[in-house]
Structure 1
Amino acid sequence: MDAQAELPPEATEAHGTKDTHLPAHPMYTQEPRAAFAPQYISPTVERPKEDFFIFRPRLLEQAIQDLKSQLSKDEDGDMRTAWILTTVSHWGTENEVLVLLCDRSLLICYYDFVGLCSSRIFRIPLNYIDTVTWGPLSYPKTALHKRVGPALQVQWDKLRPPPSFVSRWNPWADLSYVILTQHPGSINKEEMHSMCQLEQFMEHLVKLVRLSHTQNPLPGRANGLLVLHRPVNMETSLGLISLLNTSIQLGYAKSRPGFGF
């Protein structure tokens, strides 16, 4: 009898005479990783239904508490109401803001809902406000983007000369007014309906401004509030930046799957 035939398979392989007729191992292939591809697993956790972070109740409550902690008792007094609105710059760009109406001031807060901190806060003393204009936004005929809907222009120095040509072209120009409009995500927000109404905000603002003029008049100035009902003029002649900003809503913190904030 042939001695090599009596050797076990391991011994046969050791001698370099592997039997090719033996069946493959049942658990492994010759190249086990050749056809491997990672498996994609869809998470079972549902994403929040609200795209705009400002309308998520927990984030909104945290933002308001954070801003209230930064109020000055002497300059602001107590907070009366909080509002969710949008500012429109003289270039036509939009940014969502939390607006706080206090006893002595109007605070326009640009809050970072991604980093959960306030990035900019503008304080306007109520007794400085002298003109409020309510009406639709009016654009030049050449403007590429025209926002539809009512707007509120709050002005605090009507005696200041109109902006110069250079100031109108400077996106960081120091202007004596701010334009507020309705937040685009405020539609069908029943639980926050009262915080998004621009006309109700104007009524509260006018009431507090008139009270402030009576209690804290400015010396040497004709105190009083002028309320105008007419179109709010926008001077964006073309508005390419405004068109880009509005089309992808750069001024709003919202969920953008696959993209940054």
Structure 2
Amino acid sequence: MLDHNQLDEAPTVNFDTATLRMAKDSDDPELRDESYNQENSTNAATARSNVPSIPFKNIDVHTFFSDRNEVVERAVKECHDILSTDQNDEIIGTWLLTEISLWDTEKERIVLLTKNAIYTIKYDFISLKILQFNRTPLTEIDTIAEGELEYPPKSAVPRLNGLAEGVSSMIHCAVRQQWSSIASRSDIKFESRKRNMSGIRIMWSKGKPLSFDKKWNPFAKHIPWLTYTSHPLYWHKGINEERSRFDVNGLHSALVSIISETCMFVKHPLIIENYLGLGALLHNRTSLGFFKVRGKISF
């Protein structure tokens, strides 16, 4: 393959001759392979430059109670024993994921999928007990959407997230370095920040829009869909087998395998209708939906 540095260092180049030779040898397989490889290298470099920032890159994973040894395994076993009362209801899989509510609040949930239903379980990883759970029969599910989590075009949440991320990075830098070095840090930015996460939305609304009294009622229950994304620990586990427990794509694949004949699977952005959402911003930035060590207290 030609080296670009060698081309730059060459003293003289006869461009007319080079043009004629390229036209003459355009059918040469070696030249075609070389051109193809150069194009792929350029595309790969462009793709790397467009990779979005990793979610939850600044969190301390050891503050999550679910990160402790065998805690998740014990919780999953307890959920199996209590909820799987029907011996004919075969268990397909279990995951620890993040549920995103109608009001854009992130909540740590155990998801248990059986042959007949999907359970969303709020589990206390401190006292090790089930607090509450919801059961959705698979026969009621009519649509499962997969895609990037996005806000409406007029939402102020991405700008607020960018501001919060910039302030958080400054504080993080100030704690570990001198204030004088902050000005030279290129990674401290205040631009609009997207979630940079994908997820799935499981729906049984039969295509009907959500009623007004539920859409704008923060205390509304029985919302006809569930929105999941990967747990924050997913980005901090190095072993594929261990990461799979926190990966929302595993749940999606399992659902495809068991209800693909009775359910419609679509792929498009998952819109989270949060336009201002200061409460959700505070809730998510402080991880109130997760069981964590918070100083001298834990909740």
TM-score under structure 2 normalisation?
0.62
* Matching residue of 1:186: 234
Q: Please tell me the residue identity of whatever aligns with 2:156.
A: A
Separation in 1 of the partners of 2:128 and 2:275?
36
Shift of 1:72: 3.8
Shift of 1:99: 0.7
Q: Please tell me the residue identity of whatever aligns with 1:51.
A: T
Q: Does 1:105 align with 2:153?
A: no
Gaps of 5+ in 2: 1-59, 162-193
* Matching residue of 2:255: 205
Query: Do the aligned partners of 1:75 and 1:104 also contact (CA within 8 Å) in 2?
Result: no
Q: Please tell me the residue identity of whatever aligns with 1:197.
A: D
Structure holding more helix per residue = 2
Q: Where in structure 2 are the equivalents of 1:84-99 lying within 5 Å?
A: 84-99=96-111
In the TM superposition, what whole-angstrom CA distance separates every residue of 1:22-48 from its partner, at most 9, and x where no partner exists?
A: xxxxxxxxxxxxxxxxxxxxxxxxxx9
Shift of 1:74: 3.5
Moved beyond 3 Å, runs of 4+: 72-76
* Matching residue of 2:191: none
Query: Do the aligned partners of 1:76 and 1:102 also contact (CA within 8 Å) in 2?
Result: no
* Matching residue of 1:56: 68
* Matching residue of 2:81: 69
TM-score under structure 1 normalisation?
0.71
Q: 1:139 to 1:49 in 2, by over 3 A?
A: closer
Q: Please tell me the residue identity of whatever aligns with 1:246.
A: N
Shift of 1:147: 2.6
Identical aligned residues as a percent? 33
Query: Do the aligned partners of 2:61 and 2:67 also contact (CA within 8 Å) in 1?
Result: no
* Matching residue of 1:225: 263
Query: Do the aligned partners of 1:132 and 1:225 also contact (CA within 8 Å) in 2?
Result: yes
Deviates more, 1:147-156 or 1:72-81: 72-81
Separation in 2 of the partners of 1:49 and 1:237?
29
Separation in 1 of the partners of 2:61 and 2:150?
34
Query: Do the aligned partners of 2:143 and 2:203 also contact (CA within 8 Å) in 1?
Result: yes
Shift of 1:154: 0.3
- Which structure has the bigger radius of gyration? 1
Shift of 1:49: 7.3
Q: Please tell me the residue identity of whatever aligns with 1:209.
A: I
Shift of 1:138: 1.9
Q: 1:196 to 1:72 in 2, by over 3 A?
A: closer
Query: Do the aligned partners of 2:291 and 2:298 also contact (CA within 8 Å) in 1?
Result: no
In the TM superposition, what whole-angstrom CA distance separates every residue of 1:180-229 from its partner, at most 9, and x where no partner exists?
A: 0111122131252111221222011121223xx6xxxxxxxxxx211111
User: Which of 133, 156, 173 lines up with 2:204 in the alignment?
Assistant: 156
Q: 1:248 to 1:49 in 2, by over 3 A?
A: closer
In the TM superposition, what whole-angstrom CA distance separates every residue of 1:136-172 from its partner, at most 9, and x where no partner exists?
A: 112123232453210100012324x311233112223
Aligned partner of residue 295 in structure 2, secondary structure: coil
Separation in 1 of the partners of 2:81 and 2:101?
27
Query: Do the aligned partners of 2:92 and 2:254 also contact (CA within 8 Å) in 1?
Result: no
Query: Do the aligned partners of 1:86 and 1:96 also contact (CA within 8 Å) in 2?
Result: yes
* Matching residue of 1:196: 246
* Matching residue of 1:29: none
